[in-house]
């Protein structure tokens, strides 16, 4: 409707019509509509509409100026300590003054829930209450800077009015719950929000004066009027024309007049109180039409509802790939609805170290829209809602107390997410592998950032790699690997390489391939770091095959060498040529098709170190830190040829020795600068072509 109006207005007035002017015209039309519909009163809408419900076409407003103060006012004084506390609540307790609306709506919701309980549990009360609709109505008067909040709840007697609004930190809701506990009848107490008894006084953050009209549901109850400017006194009088329930009239300060604007009020309701159980009307129009899906039985929720709720709560346009609906009361009360996005994460989402897309609620009231500490940072790609009655909030209901319960909440949720993903990996393997392709970086971050070895291994169960004995493209888990190794194999072997082709051609893989030992092929450079932090899986150490080759070379016997004297001379010459580079040079029997290889102690650490530091240090320092061992295959044709030309063309032999060493360093991932390779290669080619 608004879009059509803008279009007609733009055609009439020209395409350069400004947005403020359009809004001004829209507001005038809206005000005229409200005036025409002000006399219309419809029956209350049910507690929740469907997820796709549209706004009602008729207004329904119970806010009317029918109250009239009668009799003399009884003046009461706040105690001196209460005065100070009132100033703290009004000026210092809350970080943002907009939360006053959340607090007052929560109080109104509690009043409705108490009435709901009384109607169900007390036949006499049910007769008095009748079929009264349970609703919250909010009215705005921007011209006079007035905001009105009215509920149809239990209301208050004179004694309750003095007690609840005259004593800060006395919570009527808490007292109500304590009475239920005494009766050993909890009822549906999960809907009761109030805890501290300070929410009402948050109104003084924005108000010059607050008026309250209230009438209890009890038989013969009188209408009452309460007024205070937040200083040292408040007055109570009788009043006529008061509707059952409570009506709060807030006379806003000049600098808070924005809260008498219906757009602002609608925005705040959507932000903080959109999932309150009872309907909320603003100037007669229903605002909270979206269901809190996490509180419903998951069997009753359709995929379409999940999709729309995901887009709403996650502020995104794709659809959920997986949906985790989790409910438990032990060891902590949790109602969680978590979504795994279909869309691949943006580069920023991968790189940022904090932030969260999960909102924290308590009894359907928003506590924090981005609650970083209820899930580990590596799960920041999740979107959704976590609601818990047990979370320890501070007095302002904005921050979490530093408590072991928060750690317990995080542990329970993390464990459930890991279990869920493992289930998807088994039952929906193809879908999980697509998810893994897009989000594996987060899982690997979890391995690196988690302290507990047990937790690291739980996350590591979700990792997937290609295997030397599986078809290209087929992914296996570490669990799969462990289930099929022989009894005498005591290690999990892996090789980091840019591709499967290069992995299969690696000189380090030759020996294990010959012995039919399975090797995990890892195609990401950071996989070295992952396995360094993981260290072991199911008591089997994770070992790079380069490291294993170094250890086996130290133990194995020397190969049979026909020209042993020539090889000894070659090694002696190589030590001179590679002085300052190779820490040691020796022969190996682990190679067949490759002429040489470099081995370094703790290869994974060395590779990670060189990626970080190569550009910052001189070559001599790097070689002295790595202390590489240059191992040669004496039976390879290239090594045999080196023995021949060592005496006849020493320059070419020296260049060839340097090139073989540089190639081996690059093969090991210890050199990633192509300029180093190209420079030595060009020099070698020039020498080789000199005689031509």
Average of per-residue pLDDT across 528-544: 93
Q: What is the pLDDT of residue 363?
A: 84
Q: What is the pLDDT of residue 154?
A: 93
What average pLDDT does the structure give for the chain? Answer: 81
Contact of 348 with 324, CB cutoff 8 Å: no
Q: What is the pLDDT of residue 71?
A: 76
The tens digit of pLDDT for each residue in 465-476 reads 999 999 999 999
Start-to-end CA distance of the chain, whole Å, equals 85
Q: What is the pLDDT of residue 615?
A: 58
Burial of 329 (0-12, 13-18, 19+ CB in 10 A): exposed
Binding-site residues for ATP, in ranges, read 103, 107, 151, 156, 164, 171-172, 195-200, 246, 397
575 pLDDT higher than 90? yes
Contact of 207 with 251, CB cutoff 8 Å: yes
Q: What is the pLDDT of residue 546?
A: 85
Contact of 105 with 136, CB cutoff 8 Å: yes
623 pLDDT higher than 90? no
Beta bridge pairs of residue 82? none
- CB-based contacts of 258, cutoff 8 Å, min separation 6: 264
139 pLDDT higher than 80? yes
320 pLDDT higher than 90? yes
Contact of 387 with 393, CB cutoff 8 Å: no
Phi and psi at residue 321, in whole multiples of 5°? -80, -50
Q: What is the pLDDT of residue 402?
A: 52
Per DSSP bridges, beta strands 280-282 and 285-286 are: antiparallel
Average of per-residue pLDDT across 561-572: 84
H runs (alpha helix) in 336-388 = 347-351
596 pLDDT higher than 90? yes
- CB-based contacts of 190, cutoff 8 Å, min separation 6: 363, 389
H runs (alpha helix) in 57-188 = 80-88, 99-121, 123-129, 158-166, 172-182
239 pLDDT higher than 80? yes
Q: How many Å apart are CA 469 and CA 492, to the nearest integer?
A: 14
Burial of 96 (0-12, 13-18, 19+ CB in 10 A): exposed
Region of poorest pLDDT, from 28-32, 380-384, 429-433, 610-614: 28-32
Average of per-residue pLDDT across 27-53: 37
- Residue 83 banded pLDDT, cuts 50, 70, 90: low
136 pLDDT higher than 70? yes
The tens digit of pLDDT for each residue in 250-295 reads 999 999 999 999 999 999 999 999 999 899 999 999 999 888 999 9
| Nearest partner of 153 among 128, 131, 125, 134, judged by Cα | 134
- Residue 607 banded pLDDT, cuts 50, 70, 90: confident
Most confident of 57-61, 85-89, 489-493, 617-621: 489-493
Average of per-residue pLDDT across 464-489: 94
Q: What percent of the chain has pLDDT over 90?
A: 47
Rg for the chain (alpha carbons), in Å? 37
CA-to-CA dists, residue 4 to 16, 54, 345, 466, angstroms: 17, 17, 36, 56
Q: How many Å apart are CA 486 and CA 17, to the nearest integer?
A: 77
> What DSSP element (H or E) covers 533?
helix 527-534
Contact of 210 with 228, CB cutoff 8 Å: yes
Q: How many Å apart are CA 123 and CA 594, to the nearest integer?
A: 91
Q: What is the pLDDT of residue 5?
A: 41
Q: How many Å apart are CA 202 and CA 94, to the nearest integer?
A: 8
Q: Which residue has the higher pLDDT, 576 or 676?
A: 576
The token duo for 620 is: 């001599």
Domains annotated on the chain, with CATH: 83-286 (3.30.565.10), 293-435 (3.30.230.80), 463-550 (3.40.50.11260), 564-690 (1.20.120.790)
> What DSSP element (H or E) covers 657?
helix 650-667
Phi and psi at residue 12, in whole multiples of 5°? -70, -40
H runs (alpha helix) in 493-544 = 500-504, 510-514, 527-534
Q: What is the pLDDT of residue 371?
A: 83
Average of per-residue pLDDT across 600-615: 76
Region of poorest pLDDT, from 341-355, 414-428, 496-510: 341-355
Helix axes 262-272, 99-121, angle to 10 degrees: 60
- Residue 192 banded pLDDT, cuts 50, 70, 90: very low
Q: How many Å apart are CA 503 and CA 520, to the nearest integer?
A: 10
Q: Which residue has the higher pLDDT, 266 or 346?
A: 266
Contact of 643 with 570, CB cutoff 8 Å: yes
Q: How many Å apart are CA 57 and CA 37, to the nearest integer?
A: 10
242 pLDDT higher than 50? yes
121 pLDDT higher than 90? no
The token duo for 445 is: 């971050």
Most confident of 26-40, 49-63, 640-654, 674-688: 640-654
Q: What is the pLDDT of residue 246?
A: 95
Please give the full DSSP string across 660-684, using - where no structure is assigned: HHHHHHHHTTS---HHHHHHHHHHH
Binding-site residues, in ranges, read 103, 107, 151, 156, 164, 171-172, 195-200, 246, 397
Region of poorest pLDDT, from 52-56, 185-189, 333-337, 491-495: 52-56
The tens digit of pLDDT for each residue in 164-191 reads 886 664 444 445 445 544 555 544 444 4
Q: What is the pLDDT of residue 605?
A: 80
Q: What is the pLDDT of residue 557?
A: 53
3-class DSSP assignment, residue 334: strand
- Residue 519 banded pLDDT, cuts 50, 70, 90: very high
- Residue 621 banded pLDDT, cuts 50, 70, 90: confident
Region of poorest pLDDT, from 147-161, 302-316, 338-352, 530-544: 338-352
89 pLDDT higher than 70? no
The residue whose two tokens read 């399975």 is: 518
376 pLDDT higher than 90? yes
Q: What is the pLDDT of residue 491?
A: 94
The tens digit of pLDDT for each residue in 220-230 reads 999 999 999 88
């Amino acid at each position: 409707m608004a879009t059509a109006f803008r279009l007609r207005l733009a055609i009439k007035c020209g395409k350069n019509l400004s947005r403020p002017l359009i809004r001004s015209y829209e507001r005038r039309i809206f005000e005229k509509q409200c005036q025409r519909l002000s006399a219309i009163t419809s029956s209350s809408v049910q507690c929740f509409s469907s997820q796709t419900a549209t706004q009602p076409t008729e207004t329904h407003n119970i806010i009317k100026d029918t109250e009239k103060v009668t009799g003399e006012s009884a003046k009461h004084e706040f105690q001196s300590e209460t005065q100070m506390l009132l100033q703290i609540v009004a000026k210092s307790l809350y970080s943002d003054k907009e939360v006053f609306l959340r607090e007052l709506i929560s109080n109104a919701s509690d009043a409705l829930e108490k009435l709901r309980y009384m109607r169900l549990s007390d036949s006499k009360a049910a007769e008095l209450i009748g079929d009264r609709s349970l609703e919250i109505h909010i009215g705005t008067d921007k011209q006079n800077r007035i905001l009105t909040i009215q509920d149809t709840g239990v209301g208050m007697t004179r004694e309750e009015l003095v007690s609840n609004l005259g004593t800060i930190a006395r919570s009527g809701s808490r007292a109500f719950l304590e009475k239920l506990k005494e009766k050993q009848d909890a009822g549906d107490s999960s809907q009761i929000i109030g805890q501290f008894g300070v929410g009402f006084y948050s109104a003084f953050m924005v108000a010059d004066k607050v008026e309250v009209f209230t009438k209890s549901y009890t038989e013969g109850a009188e209408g009452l009027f309460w007024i205070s400017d937040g200083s040292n006194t408040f007055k109570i009088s009788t009043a006529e024309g008061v509707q059952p329930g409570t009506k709060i009239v807030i006379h806003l300060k000049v600098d808070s007049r924005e809260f008498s604007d219906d757009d602002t009020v609608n925005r705040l309701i959507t932000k903080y109180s959109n999932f309150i159980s009872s309907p909320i009307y603003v100037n007669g129009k229903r605002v909270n039409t979206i269901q809190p899906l996490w509180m419903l039985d998951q069997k009753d929720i359709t995929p379409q509802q999940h999709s729309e709720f995901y887009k709403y709560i996650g502020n995104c346009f794709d659809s959920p790939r997986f949906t985790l609906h989790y409910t438990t009361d032990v060891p902590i009360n949790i109602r969680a609805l978590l979504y795994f996005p279909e869309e691949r994460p943006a580069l920023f989402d991968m790189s940022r170290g904090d932030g969260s897309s999960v909102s924290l609620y308590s009894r359907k009231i928003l506590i924090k829209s981005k609650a970083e500490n209820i899930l580990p940072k590596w799960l920041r790609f999740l979107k959704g809602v976590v609601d818990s009655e047990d979370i320890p909030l501070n007095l302002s209901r904005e921050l979490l107390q530093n408590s072991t319960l928060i750690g317990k909440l995080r542990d329970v949720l993390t464990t459930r997410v890991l279990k869920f993903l493992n289930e998807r990996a088994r039952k929906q393997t193809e879908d999980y592998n697509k998810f893994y392709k897009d989000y594996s970086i987060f899982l690997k971050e979890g391995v690196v950032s988690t302290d507990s070895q047990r937790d690291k291994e739980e996350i590591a169960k979700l990792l997937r790699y290609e295997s030397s004995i599986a078809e290209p493209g087929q992914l296996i888990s570490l669990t799969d690997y462990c289930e099929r190794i022989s009894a005498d194999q005591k290690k999990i072997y892996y090789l980091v390489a840019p591709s499967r082709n290069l992995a299969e051609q690696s000189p380090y893989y030759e020996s294990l391939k010959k012995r039919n030992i399975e090797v995990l092929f890892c195609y990401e450079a950071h996989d070295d770091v992952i396995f360094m932090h993981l260290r072991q899986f199911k008591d089997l150490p994770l070992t790079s095959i380069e490291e294993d080759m170094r250890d086996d070379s130290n133990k194995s016997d020397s190969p049979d060498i026909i020209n042993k004297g020539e090889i000894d001379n070659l090694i002696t010459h190589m030590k001179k040529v590679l002085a300052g580079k190779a820490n040691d040079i020796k022969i190996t029997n682990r190679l067949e098709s490759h002429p040489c290889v470099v081995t370094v102690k703790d290869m994974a650490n060395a590779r990670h170190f060189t990626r970080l530091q190569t550009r910052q240090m001189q070559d001599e320092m790097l070689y002295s830190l790595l202390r590489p061992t240059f191992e040669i295959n004496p039976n390879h044709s290239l090594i045999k040829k080196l023995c021949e030309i060592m005496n006849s063309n020493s320059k070419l032999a020296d260049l060839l020795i340097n090139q073989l060493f540089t190639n081996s360093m690059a093969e090991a991932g210890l050199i990633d600068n192509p300029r180093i390779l190209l420079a030595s290669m060009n020099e070698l080619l020039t020498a080789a072509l000199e005689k031509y």
